[in-house]
Amino acid sequence: MKYVSFVAGILLLACFAFGAGIDGKWAGSLPGMDGNNMTIEFIFKVDGTSLSGTHIVNGQQTAFKEGKIDGNNITFTVNMDMGGQPMKIDHKGIISADQIKMTYVMMEQPGEFVLKRAK
């Protein structure tokens, strides 16, 4: 019985460790509208099950709030201003040891990219 309690405790701590482990800067790339790859960066801040941070594309920084983290899954929405036009981008991610596999929906079009911890 002690062994089962010990293992359950370790698994619970591992769930929290994944979330706490994404604090900081992550970067990846995705195809731009001109066909060339562009760099996308995120600065994540975890507070319990809440996720906030900054989304950076082509030097434009947009803060996001109201994100959530549940085990190794994250969700958040970035609301950007594209030349006076509002744009909402919903993001979902799956955290692994060295990367975050992200999916997004922008203007009803899905996409995906991978983030790696930035140095």
Q: Which of 12, 1, 28 shows the shortest CA–CA distance to 98?
A: 28
- For position 97, what pLDDT does the model report? 85
Residues near 3 by Cβ (< 8 Å), separated by ≥ 6? Answer: none
pTM across the whole model: 0.79
Would you place residue 100 in the very low, low, confident or very high pLDDT band (cuts 50, 70, 90)? Answer: very high
Give me the numbers of helices (H) and strands (E) for the chain, helices first please.
1, 8
Per-residue pLDDT averaged across 63-68, rounded? 93
Beta carbons of 36 and 51 less than 8 angstroms apart: no
Averaged confidence pLDDT in the chain: 85
- For position 41, what pLDDT does the model report? 97
Domains (ranges, CATH) in the chain? Answer: 2-117 (2.40.128.120)
